[in-house]
């Protein structure tokens, strides 16, 4: 079940990038802190909007669209942003997130 921050992230990314694939994963429980919080997210997004943009520009565009969430205290955002061709080259594989060391 997603919380309000996760839903906001999903809605903004859907509206901004019209992705072919979007996955927003709350990874907060992989880190220290009370259960049920929304502080760490992994975003997997595949969009034609990323054609011609390098990884830095893609990340900047995503961070810009999520400015309110970042300003409100979103602690960590792991971004995996690909074009349709890159997604197909990967075979649709999503990288696992490392376990938190602290």
In which band, very low, low, confident or very high, does the pLDDT at 95 lie, cut at 50, 70 and 90? confident
Domains and CATH numbers, the chain: 4-90 (3.30.300.90)
Give the pLDDT confidence score for residue 20 in this predicted structure. Answer: 97
Q: What is the pLDDT of residues 37-87, one digit of tens each?
A: 777 899 999 999 999 999 999 999 999 999 999 999 888 899 999 999 999
In which band, very low, low, confident or very high, does the pLDDT at 93 lie, cut at 50, 70 and 90? confident
Give the pLDDT confidence score for residue 34 in this predicted structure. Answer: 61
Number of neighbours of residue 33 by Cβ within 10 angstroms = 11
Give the pLDDT confidence score for residue 101 in this predicted structure. Answer: 57
Q: What is the pLDDT of residues 8-47, one digit of tens each?
A: 999 999 999 999 999 999 887 776 666 667 778 999 999 9
CB contact at 8 A, 48 and 19: no
pTM score of the predicted model: 0.88
Half-sphere exposure for 42 (CA within 13 Å, toward CB): 15
Token readout for 39 is: 């502080």
């Amino acid at each position: 079940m997603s919380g309000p921050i996760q839903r906001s992230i999903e809605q903004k990314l859907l509206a901004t990038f019209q992705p072919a694939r979007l996955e927003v994963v709350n990874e907060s429980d992989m880190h220290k802190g009370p259960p049920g919080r929304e502080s760490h997210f992994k975003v997997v997004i595949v969009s034609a909007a990323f054609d011609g943009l390098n990884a830095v520009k893609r990340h900047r565009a995503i961070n810009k669209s999520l400015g309110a969430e970042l300003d409100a205290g979103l602690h960590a955002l792991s971004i995996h942003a690909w074009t349709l061709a890159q997604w197909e080259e990967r075979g649709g594989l999503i990288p696992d997130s490392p376990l938190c060391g602290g």
